[in-house]
């Protein structure tokens, strides 16, 4: 065992690197890895913190030691007023139970049914697009993914509430993101404008999901979706409490739409910058689909489209920084002694830029994922959905959704970026593109608009 700490910045007395982290978390963590390598020590105030990017150590934290490295309590306290104690935030036995409750909604046989909804909603989302028309692609993608998550998991048509939901979600995730970035919870009882906005956004989202519950109660029918599963377990067996219901619906609603919508926005941006990839995408879409909308059976045949999404998730993993973990006892990691109470940061954004596994890492190259090449990488080197017992519950859902939405839209339209602002990511809770990414869409075939 080594006795020294891993390399890292000294930081300021008392504050450590808190101010750097607060100013630009994404920039700070990226620069730490560039300067000090794949295992870095720094301090956040008085606490020891580590940026862990070595695949074997990432695997150890997420897969081998998760009981000794649960989600960190300060960050949990920050998001608790919104997420409650559902699957995203809980630890230990509560987490195992919450995960078991929601798991059946993501079984493979259900995913096939969801594919139909993904394609229908992509078509619906672009129904009013006109060739030569200009749109904000982030708003367009959010509308589609909010509908997808509402229809698949809650059998609820969200058409009327999309603008309300999108704006309340942006508010709450933005506000919580600020506290999250500085790892400092602002108690809800503080009478500030900030808390007033936070409460208003939480109320709005609560009302939206509770309306889904009311609508379900009107028929009380088992629709085979997540909401029916939770409601039946809530009513008949009483083993799902009201809080479980609310917390899990919020978890899925929140975790399940921005991440995929932003992945699609990044994919459009990357495609527009790489016409050769765009041409290869069209070749696949025309060959496999021949002009008809994709179905679940086409999904495994859309190999190149899937490679584009995987490469997009490598360069711009929307879950760019896993929820910080905390060591509950002294550990040895990568040969270094890690004291109890330390914070562990694991960033897919940083990890995916390691040239050992991804030569010329800033280059967009879907070929890296040809024939499932990621399976040859060490475990922990490519983790857009995390790893281990807390791996994203929606990973297969999201991959299918992104691939089928990209295929359905790209089959019909070429998307050109008109945005004047620099298209660089900002990293808070999710890796966001700038707001209002302005694009022009042109029909690929004369019949495209009609086909849509």
Between residues 294 and 317, which has the closer beta carbon with respect to ligand HEM? 317
Question: How distant, in Å, are the alpha carbons of 68, 249, 390 from that of 100?
Answer: 21, 14, 12
Among 49, 156, 205, 251, contact with ligand HEM (rule: CB under 6 A) = 251
Given the complex with ligand HEM, which of 400 and 443 has the nearer CB atom?
400
Number of residues that bind ligand HEM (CB under 6 A): 26
115 is in an annotated binding site: no
Long-range contacts at 352-356 (CB < 8 A, ≥ 24 apart): 352/314, 352/315, 352/317, 352/382, 352/384, 353/30, 353/33, 354/38, 354/53, 354/381
Residues 6+ apart with CB under 8 A from 190: none
Beta bridge mates, 336: 333
Shortest reach from residue 166's CB to ligand HEM, in Å: 15
Contact 309, 267 (CB under 8 A): yes
Please report how close the Cβ of residue 195 comes to ligand HEM at its closest, in angstroms: 25
Site map 356..375 versus ligand HEM, x via CB under 6 A: --------------------
Q: Give the Cβ contact number of residue 259 at 10 Å.
A: 23
Nearest-angstrom CA–CA distance, 174 and 258: 12
405 binds ligand HEM (CB under 6 A): no
76 part of the interface to ligand HEM, by CB under 6 A = no
- Rg of the chain in Å (alpha carbons): 22
Q: Are 46 and 14 in contact (CB under 8 A)?
A: yes
Helical segments of 62-136, H only: 73-83, 92-102, 108-125
Contacting residue, 260, 306, 405, 411, with ligand HEM by CB under 6 A: 260
SS3 (DSSP) at 61: helix
Min. distance of Cβ 416 from ligand HEM in angstroms? 23
For ligand HEM, the binding residues in 307-326 under the rule CB under 6 A are 317-319, 322-323
Residue nearest to ligand HEM (CB): 394
**Residues 32 to 51 in contact with ligand HEM, rule: CB under 6 A:** none
Q: If binding is defined by CB under 6 A, does position 250 make contact with ligand HEM?
A: no
The two tokens of residue 275 are 């016409």
* 256 is a site residue for ligand HEM (CB under 6 A): yes
Residues in contact with ligand HEM by CB under 6 A are 87-88, 99, 149, 251-252, 255-256, 259-260, 263, 317-319, 322-323, 384-386, 390, 392-394, 397-398, 402
């Amino acid at each position: 065992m080594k006795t020294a700490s891993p390399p890292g910045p000294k930081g300021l007395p008392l504050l450590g690197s808190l101010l750097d982290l607060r100013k630009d978390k994404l920039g700070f963590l990226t620069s730490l890895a560039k300067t000090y390598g794949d295992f870095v020590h720094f301090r956040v105030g008085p606490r020891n913190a580590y940026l862990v990017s070595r695949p074997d150590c990432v695997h150890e934290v997420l897969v081998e030691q998760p009981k000794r490295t649960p989600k960190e309590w300060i960050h949990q306290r920050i998001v608790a007023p919104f997420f409650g104690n559902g699957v995203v935030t809980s630890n230990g036995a509560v987490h195992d139970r919450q995960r078991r409750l929601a798991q059946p909604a993501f079984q493979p046989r259900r995913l096939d049914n969801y594919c139909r909804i993904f394609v229908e909603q992509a078509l619906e989302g672009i129904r009013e697009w006109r060739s030569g028309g200009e749109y904000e692609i982030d708003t367009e993608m959010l509308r589609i993914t909010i509908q997808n998550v509402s229809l698949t998991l809650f059998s609820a048509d969200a058409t009327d509430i999309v603008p309300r939901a999108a704006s309340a979600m942006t508010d709450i995730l933005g506000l919580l993101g600020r506290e999250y970035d500085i790892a400092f919870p602002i108690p809800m009882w503080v009478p500030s404008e900030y808390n007033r906005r936070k409460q208003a956004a939480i109320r709005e989202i609560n009302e939206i999901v509770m309306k889904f519950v009311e609508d379900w109660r009107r028929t009380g029918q088992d629709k085979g979706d997540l909401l029916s599963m939770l409601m039946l377990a809530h009513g008949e067996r009483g083993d799902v409490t009201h809080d479980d219901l609310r917390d899990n619906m919020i978890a899925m609603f929140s975790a399940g739409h921005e991440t995929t919508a932003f992945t699609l926005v990044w994919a459009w941006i990357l495609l527009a910058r790489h016409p050769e990839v765009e041409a290869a995408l069209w070749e696949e879409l025309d060959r496999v689909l021949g002009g008809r909308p994709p179905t679940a059976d086409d999904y495994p045949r859309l190999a190149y489209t899937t490679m584009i999404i995987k490469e997009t998730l490598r360069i711009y993993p929307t879950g760019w920084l896993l929820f910080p973990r905390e060591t509950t006892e002294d550990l040895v990691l990568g040969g270094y002694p890690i004291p109890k109470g330390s914070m562990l940061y694991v960033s897919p954004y940083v990890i995916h830029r390691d040239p050992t596994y991804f030569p010329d890492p800033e280059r967009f190259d879907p070929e890296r994922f040809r024939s499932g090449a990621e399976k040859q990488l060490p475990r922990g080197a490519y983790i857009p959905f995390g790893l281990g017992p807390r791996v994203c519950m929606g990973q297969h859902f999201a991959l299918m959704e992104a691939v089928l939405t990209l295929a359905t839209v790209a089959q019909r339209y070429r998307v050109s970026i008109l945005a004047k602002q620099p298209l660089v990511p900002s990293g808070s809770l999710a890796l966001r593109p700038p707001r209002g990414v302005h694009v022009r869409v042109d029909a690929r075939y004369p019949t495209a608009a009609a086909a849509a």
